[in-house]
Structure 1
Amino acid sequence: MDALRQLMPAHPGAGDAVDWVALERSWGTGFPGDYREFITRYGAGAVDDCLCFLLPESRAAQDVEPAFQGMETETLNALDLWQHKAPTGSERSGVIAWGVDSSADILCWRVTDGDPDGWPVVVWNQDDAVWREYPCGLAEFLCRVFRAQFGECPLGSTGLWGNASPRFMHGDEEARLRGRGLDPWTGEPDPFAGMFGD
């Protein structure tokens, strides 16, 4: 996380307060320490309008639809893909989604045992329709993407690959700027502002 903070400083007002005890009870598992720290420092938002980070919500009751585009919905999408396309030998483990990108890739942890800090990152690459596993946690994975330290870019979009100065923006800040009629990522007037309601 120290390296990630240096590469991608959080802006003032970023970060989300989360009741981890309640969420872990709802999900039936803990969450990795670097992810918990990421949510506290950065929160739910995006990097360079390319990679969105998911905030955990209490899981919906069995007869209730999960929130659209939340961690639970993306995890259900990932589990469906995992069931049919999991790498050989890893079918018995599950996945929990923590991010999605502009190429419709889903970024997850492979739930290997009871220690969340040991879960590797797995990415569903939509372009290639395959899962790829990376033996590191979220913070190290992001640093290695920003520094182009994998054999190839793990994501369908190369916008973050080798990006020496990635920019994180919390979802609330993005909404505030859009409300002022600005494109949050360029600061320029948004030509579509107001066209689709509030």
Structure 2
Amino acid sequence: MEDPTGIAALAKILPPDLGADEEIDWSAAEARWGTRFPRDYMAFMSIYGAGEFVSADGFGGLGILMPLPKERVHPLSDETFEDETENARSTWEMLGGQEGLDIDPQHILAWGVTSGPDILCWLTADPDPDQWPVLVWGRHTDEDFTLFGCGMVEFLRRLILDEHDPYPLSVNLSSLRYVHRLQQKR
């Protein structure tokens, strides 16, 4: 059976043994943000939950944010989905956008942050959330903003397998494992 979310392919290379279902009220999240969310993100939250991809060397991490606040999500920062979305939008405006990318900053929605600290977002211009590409604001990358023509789960799968060229983040995340936010607290 085909997996349109790509979550099975991600689970093959990164077992979700330290993950947990967030049991997100997706209707409330949609009401809060005025949009539906991509199926791959919803599948990720039901299997892995909010937490952090932790590098084996301990020098890097990538936190996944929740669309609705609960408690502190990950140790990278105390920032929330809202905070990181505002950071990405205001940075886009402050930098005057980027040549070659015609983006309304209101179509930027953050879903992750690295210890770099990069912000990982969706570009939400398409009415179908499953078509939203990933937009990365790299704090120490060649380009300030880079657009990737894939969804969140595929972006993460390629990141783990080191298939992005050029590498999209300011931190080198090698030999990753995923740790749910509640496991991190322990």
Give the TM interval when normalised to the shorter protein.
0.7 to 0.9
Quick check: 1:141 aligned with 2:120?
no
| Cα displacement (A) at 1:155 | 0.6
Contact 2:22–2:45, Cα closer than 8 Å, also in 1 = yes
Contact 2:18–2:183, Cα closer than 8 Å, also in 1 = no
* 3-state DSSP of counterpart to 1:132: strand
Deviations 1:6-30 (A, max 9, x none): 1111125622100101110111011
Q: How does 1:105-124 map to 2 (within 5 A)?
A: 105-124=118-137
1:54 corresponds to: 65
Match of residue 91, structure 1, among 94, 99, 103: 103
Match of residue 74, structure 1, among 77, 84, 102: 84
Contact 2:19–2:179, Cα closer than 8 Å, also in 1 = no
Sort the Cα spacing of 1:148 and 1:13 in 2 relative to 1 into closer, same or farther, 3 A. Answer: closer
Sort the Cα spacing of 1:171 and 1:118 in 2 relative to 1 into closer, same or farther, 3 A. Answer: same
Q: Distance in 2 between matches of 1:13 and 1:136?
A: 23
Q: Distance in 1 between matches of 2:152 and 2:36?
A: 15
Q: Distance in 2 between matches of 1:13 and 1:146?
A: 17
Q: Distance in 1 between matches of 2:49 and 2:67?
A: 10
Counting aligned pairs with the same residue, the percent is 37
User: Which structure 1 residue ranges, 5 or more long, are not aligned?
Assistant: 59-67, 177-198
1:181 corresponds to: none
Sort the Cα spacing of 1:13 and 1:136 in 2 relative to 1 into closer, same or farther, 3 A. Answer: closer
1:16 corresponds to: 22
Rg larger for: 1
Q: Distance in 2 between matches of 1:70 and 1:27?
A: 13
Q: How many equivalent residue pairs?
A: 163
Moved more, 146-155 or 116-125: 146-155
2:72 corresponds to: none
User: Which structure 2 residue ranges, 5 or more long, are not aligned?
Assistant: 1-6, 56-60, 70-77
Q: Distance in 1 between matches of 2:140 and 2:38?
A: 28
Aligned alpha-carbon RMSD (Å): 1.6
